[in-house]
Amino acid sequence: MDAHKKIIALNFKTYAQSAGAAGLRLLQACDSVAKSNPAISIIACPQQQDLSLAASTLKSAKVFAQHSDAARQGAFTGWVSPASLKASGVEGTLLNHSERRVGEAKVAEALEACRQARISAIVCAEDVEESLKFAKLSPWAVAYEPPELIGSGISVSSAKPEIVRQFISRMCKEAPSVIPIIGAGVSTEGDVAKSVELGASGVLLASAFVKSSDPKGLLEKMVASIEG
C-alpha cells in the first residue's frame, strides 16, 4: 500500500451498530468516501465474520482485520491466520489493540506470519516507549493509543499534544520506515486535523464513526480536514 497517503483507519469493534446490515452500511460509507477521495487511504476494520464480504465488496477502501494470530493455516481451531486473511482478500490487520493485548512475543510472531502472508499490520501501543519497541519489529504502522482515552471522546491530540509530538519525532528518527498513527478519543474532523498538524500520518478511531447518526458525513468531514 502507498505509504505516502494519509490514513483514516476505522475499527468497527463488535458494536451493535456495526453488526449485520448495519455493518454493511458502514462498509459502503467507507467505500464511497474512499472512491471520492483517492489521495486518502480509508481502512475499514469490520467485525471478523464480515471480512470476506468486505474484501469482495469494497473497491476503493482497504479491508483490515481487527486481530490476527501467529498461526499457520491448518489445525488451529478458532484462530485467525494471516495466510487465511490474505486468501480472503484482506490486506492487513490490527495487532495488540488495547482491548486485545497479546504482548511483545506474540506481536513479533504475528508480524512474522503477516510478512510471510504479505499482509500489512498496524501494531497498537499504549505509550511512546512501547511504540518504539514495536517499531523496531518493522510493522507497516504503529498506532499510539493511550488506553485511558479510548472511547472517551477526548482526543489524544488535544489531551497529550506534547507526547504526540514526542512520539512522532522519535518515530521519524528511530523508525523512519514505519508509519506513525495516533488514536484514542479521535471523534471530530478537528481532532483529525490536529493529529495531522502534529505530524501523524493518520488516525485510528472507532465509536465516533460507528455510532454516528451520519457516519458517511463524518468521514467526509474528516477527509476534508486532512485535504485542507
Catalytic residues: 97, 145
Percentages of the chain per state (helix, strand, coil), in multiples of 5? 45, 15, 35
Contacts of residue 164, defined as CB under 8 A and 6 or more positions apart, other chains included, come to 144, 156, 157, 182, 195, 198, 199, 200
Closest CA to 48 of 19, 21, 6, 17: 19
User: Beta-carbon neighbour count of residue 100 at 10 Å?
Assistant: 11
Cα→Cα distances 113→105, 116, 131, Å: 13, 5, 20
Sign of CA dihedral 38, 62, 59, 218: negative
**Beta bridge mates, 42:** 8
- Cα–Cα distances in angstroms (integers) from residue 205 to residues 35, 162, 175, in the given order: 20, 20, 23
Candidates 168, 221, 3; CA nearest to 92 is 3
Residue 206 · residue 11 · CB < 8 Å: yes
The SS3 assignment for 112 reads helix
